[in-house]
A and B are shown apart, each in its own frame.
Chain A
Amino acid sequence: NAGVTQTPKFQVLKTGQSMTLQCAQDMNHEYMSWYRQDPGMGLRLIHYSVGAGITDQGEVPNGYNVSRSTTEDFPLRLLSAAPSQTSVYFCASSYSAGAHTEAFFGQGTRLTVV
């Protein structure tokens, strides 16, 4: 019963490097999203997708790209890492975009940019 799986769990990058954070869900959820969590600031939405082939920007999209080629996968790409992107990243999925739908989160990726 995997749910939402994120890889890697930890990553250290040098400034300017690029990388992709992987997110996969096996619940056939249409809605997927990426958040970052910084101390005292709660989770902030980076990008989201309401289905395969459809993505949109959230509150803090700059410096990140996403794509949704399949229902299961929603990778987040850091184009040129900056120290300000040091954070904990969570991927989430839900059955629909409905108002009372529960969001399920992956275990998070702790990223440090030096």
Chain B
Amino acid sequence: RKEVEQDPGPFNVPEGATVAFNCTYSNSASQSFFWYRQDCRKEPKLLMSVYSSGNEDGRFTAQLNRASQYISLLIRDSKLSDSATYLCVVNNAGNMLTFGGGTRLMVKP
């Protein structure tokens, strides 16, 4: 079993739609959680950290459920520019980042 699992997608949604991704992690001692965005043939870039209380950044909302060991990312009012691969990332100790395989999102006009 992979340590961090994501549905690879692709998720094909129309502009303006709301889309949600989930991610599960296996290490209950994991300390911190992130969503990174990766455009095609580019490097990953931090989208947002995920805090226990949940956090929002504009159209993006991240939630963490430690009891069930899953993380979610909600994107409201999808834009064409949101098309990318979203990587769920878990930090277990000392910045040892463990990446999920990524979920591909395609937003269509």
| Residues of A participating in the B interface, judged by any CB pair closer than 8 Å | 31, 33, 35, 40-45, 48, 50, 58, 90, 94, 96-103, 105-108
Contacts and interface: CB of A to CB of B under 8 A. Distances in A.
A96 B95 contact: yes
B101 to A, nearest CB: 4
A42 B4 contact: yes
24 contacts: A31-B95, A33-B95, A40-B101, A41-B101, A42-B4, A42-B87, A42-B99, A42-B102, A43-B44, A45-B97, A45-B98, A48-B95, A48-B96, A96-B95, A97-B94, A97-B95, A98-B95, A99-B31, A99-B32, A100-B32, A100-B91, A103-B97, A105-B44, A105-B45
A33 B31 CA distance: 19
Contacts of B95: 31, 33, 48, 94, 96-99, 101, 103
Nearest to B32: A99
Interface string B68-102: 00000000000000000001000100111111111
Interface in B12-28: none
B97 A107 contact: no
Contacts, number: 53
Contacts of B44: 43, 90, 105
A92 to B, nearest CB: 8
A27 to B, nearest CB: 14
Nearest to A94: B95
A51 B101 CA distance: 28
A80 B44 CA distance: 28
A100 B96 contact: no
A58 B94 CA distance: 12
Nearest to A31: B95
B45 A58 contact: no
B58 to A, nearest CB: 18
